[in-house]
Chain A
């Protein structure tokens, strides 16, 4: 049984992460009220990325699991980003 070496995430950690997520949520709503022009989209996407990272790392346990899970996640995200970039080779220059 590998149960003994299982990491237990404390309620405190979970609550802190939740607070962080809520903070980012209100931050992103507030920021989009301000007219940042073209930076609007990037700001919103960066904050969304940070929130997703918090969920992945703490709630989904990537920080405490075997490394292979983290490597897989990063690999999948990079492949997906590359697909978007390649798709936009077409649309950016059409």
Chain B
């Protein structure tokens, strides 16, 4: 059955246009349109962040000043970090696919507070504008790095206030999204869908939402303290006034480490959706995946100190944080084993989303295992603040979250736009991207181990070789990205019409038409079995 064969059906959410032109988007409280608003804004910001990254890589293609000086480079890595972290990976999967698919997957007609949901997007845009305005005002772009470490963050003459305020406002948006999701899951699941019948992507959103609620306020108050410190010389973190800069690092990472799990948990959730569908097999260890999600969310809250192993914490704290860090590896590994076991003896359908999911596991393993190197005290000291950390971080956050985002995008594309993309081009794009990604980041592990520090626009000649490879990788990766995006954008208009369930998925979002009607389901779905029963 195709969408065309419907004799009568509700118009899709894209066809319902009660207002004029752009206002159908800007005033819509439909979770699907809001999800797309986030998607489009994130893509725009991503283009900026990626260009900044690319120009940094071009700077590093040869020692010495190639295309920019030190201060520009400092500004670039700061803005690259702020954009990529606060504007893209933190809202990424929850705000785009969570908004679009959470209500669909639990059989609801919308999120619990649709107006608040739209407000979150406006707050997000406001925060983004404030943060980016720091580039164009007064005394020059911030140069602290995205971590705003004290005491430098209130000593530098650059535009710290807008950057910090922007991050604070963005936190608000993130909190409201999390709040909305928790209430939605508690109150609006379809009849018959008890917690243990809820699909895994919503489950990871649940864990994520709790982190958003419990961790974000800490960074909020910390950033407020930086503002107060700059305005009133209060002395919270200024050693000259008795403050302890390490306390700033504690507070910052109490949020920002769990924030890594805000980024990666929904990614794991999306992968858990894709893998059973393309292996045509019930997910292995549904409960184990849920428990490990919650365990990661919970333990992840107490490992922030591993960012501070060389900051001068007490020995007892070092050992405790190292131990706790190793504990997080356990639930993460459980997830990988579950995915592999799901694929084992499945009827595998090699489609683009599945390629992305497989490569996610690959890069996530590299990122995760290199994380153990950083989690253990002795090796951490050796590679601290080197390119090794940058490589590890990008393997997890770009490799993990980015690949999962792509998997989700290719998986849910036909549901969102009701059309299918060109699979051959999608595969070519994926392969190019995958090769470029590894060429870009893998050499940085090596560079870190042989001692190249991060955040410098220049380096010693002996680091030249791997840097060339890395910079070329960046160019290949961007080329892959262009192929992928061109293919997808073209297909939203001219792709073949998609069926309601083109991948043979079992979760509720595939039970409605593609694209779904405004109220999601023609009649309220009732659930009587688990989400992945093949």
Interface residues of A (CB under 8 A from B): 68, 76, 79-80, 82-83, 86-87, 89-94
Contact B314 A89 (CB under 8 A): yes
Contact B314 A91 (CB under 8 A): yes
Contact of B314 among A79, A82, A90 (CB under 8 A): A90
Q: Report how far A31 CA is from B302 CA in the complex, Å.
A: 36
Residues of B within 8 A of A80 (CB): 214
Residue of B whose beta carbon sits closest to that of A79: B214
* Complex A-B: 11 CB contacts under 8 Å: A68-B186, A79-B301, A86-B320, A86-B321, A89-B316, A90-B313, A93-B314, A93-B316, A93-B317, A94-B314, A94-B317
Contact A86 B314 (CB under 8 A): no
Question: For residues 212 through 229 of chain B, which have their beta carbon under 8 Å from a beta carbon of chain A?
Answer: 214
Q: Report how far A83 CA is from B214 CA in the complex, Å.
A: 11
Residues of B within 8 A of A82 (CB): 301-302
Q: Report how far A60 CA is from B208 CA in the complex, Å.
A: 26
Q: Report how far A87 CA is from B305 CA in the complex, Å.
A: 9
Residues of A within 8 A of B320 (CB): 86, 89
Question: For residues 283 through 339 of chain B, which have their beta carbon under 8 Å from a beta carbon of chain A?
Answer: 301-302, 305, 313-317, 320-321, 324
Q: A79-B301, A82-B302, A83-B301 are in contact. Are A89 and B317 (CB under 8 A)?
A: yes
Contact B302 A94 (CB under 8 A): no
If A90-B314, A94-B313 are given as contacts, then 7 extra A-B residue pairs at C-beta distance below 8 Å, sorted by A number, are A83-B254, A83-B301, A83-B302, A86-B324, A90-B250, A90-B305, A90-B317
Q: Report how far A87 CA is from B315 CA in the complex, Å.
A: 13
Residues of A within 8 A of B302 (CB): 82-83, 86
Residue of A whose beta carbon sits closest to that of B186: A68
Number of interface residues of B (CB under 8 A): 16
Q: Report how far A94 CA is from B305 CA in the complex, Å.
A: 14
**Which label, helix, strand, loop or mixed, suits the secondary structure of the A interface?**
helix
Residues of A within 8 A of B250 (CB): 87, 90
Contact A76 B214 (CB under 8 A): yes
Q: Report how far A55 CA is from B266 CA in the complex, Å.
A: 36
Q: Report how far A92 CA is from B305 CA in the complex, Å.
A: 15
Residue of B whose beta carbon sits closest to that of A85: B302
Residue of A whose beta carbon sits closest to that of B319: A89
Residues of A within 8 A of B301 (CB): 79, 82-83
Residue of B whose beta carbon sits closest to that of A66: B186
Question: For residues 318 through 373 of chain B, which have their beta carbon under 8 Å from a beta carbon of chain A?
Answer: 320-321, 324
Q: Report how far A21 CA is from B250 CA in the complex, Å.
A: 35
A31 to chain B, nearest CB (A): 30
B496 to chain A, nearest CB (A): 46
Contact A93 B254 (CB under 8 A): no
B411 to chain A, nearest CB (A): 32
Q: Report how far A87 CA is from B316 CA in the complex, Å.
A: 11
Residues of B within 8 A of A93 (CB): 314-317
Contact B186 A92 (CB under 8 A): no
Q: Which residue, of A86, A90, A92, A93, has the highest number of chain B Cβ atoms within 10 A?
A: A90
Residue of A whose beta carbon sits closest to that of B244: A91
B117 to chain A, nearest CB (A): 21
B317 to chain A, nearest CB (A): 4
Residue of A whose beta carbon sits closest to that of B246: A90
Q: Report how far A74 CA is from B318 CA in the complex, Å.
A: 29
Closest 3 CB pairs between A and B? A93-B314, A90-B317, A93-B316
Residue of A whose beta carbon sits closest to that of B218: A83
Q: Report how far A37 CA is from B316 CA in the complex, Å.
A: 28
Residues of A within 8 A of B305 (CB): 86, 89-90
B246 to chain A, nearest CB (A): 8
Question: For residues 413 through 444 of chain B, which have their beta carbon under 8 Å from a beta carbon of chain A?
Answer: none
Q: Report how far A83 CA is from B253 CA in the complex, Å.
A: 12
Residues of A within 8 A of B316 (CB): 89-90, 92-93
Residues of B within 8 A of A79 (CB): 214, 301
Residue of A whose beta carbon sits closest to that of B301: A79
Residue of B whose beta carbon sits closest to that of A68: B186
Q: Report how far A76 CA is from B182 CA in the complex, Å.
A: 14
Q: Report how far A93 CA is from B313 CA in the complex, Å.
A: 9
Q: Which residue, of B186, B315, B317, B324, has the highest number of chain A Cβ atoms within 10 A?
A: B317
Contact B314 A92 (CB under 8 A): yes
Residue of B whose beta carbon sits closest to that of A76: B214
Residues of A within 8 A of B321 (CB): 86, 89
Residue of A whose beta carbon sits closest to that of B316: A93
B301 to chain A, nearest CB (A): 7
Residue of A whose beta carbon sits closest to that of B213: A76
Q: Report how far A91 CA is from B244 CA in the complex, Å.
A: 11
Residue of B whose beta carbon sits closest to that of A86: B302
Q: Report how far A26 CA is from B125 CA in the complex, Å.
A: 49
Q: Which residue, of A76, A86, A87, A92, has the highest number of chain B Cβ atoms within 10 A?
A: A86
Q: Report how far A87 CA is from B251 CA in the complex, Å.
A: 9
Question: For residues 13 through 47 of chain B, which have their beta carbon under 8 Å from a beta carbon of chain A?
Answer: none
Q: Report how far A86 CA is from B317 CA in the complex, Å.
A: 8
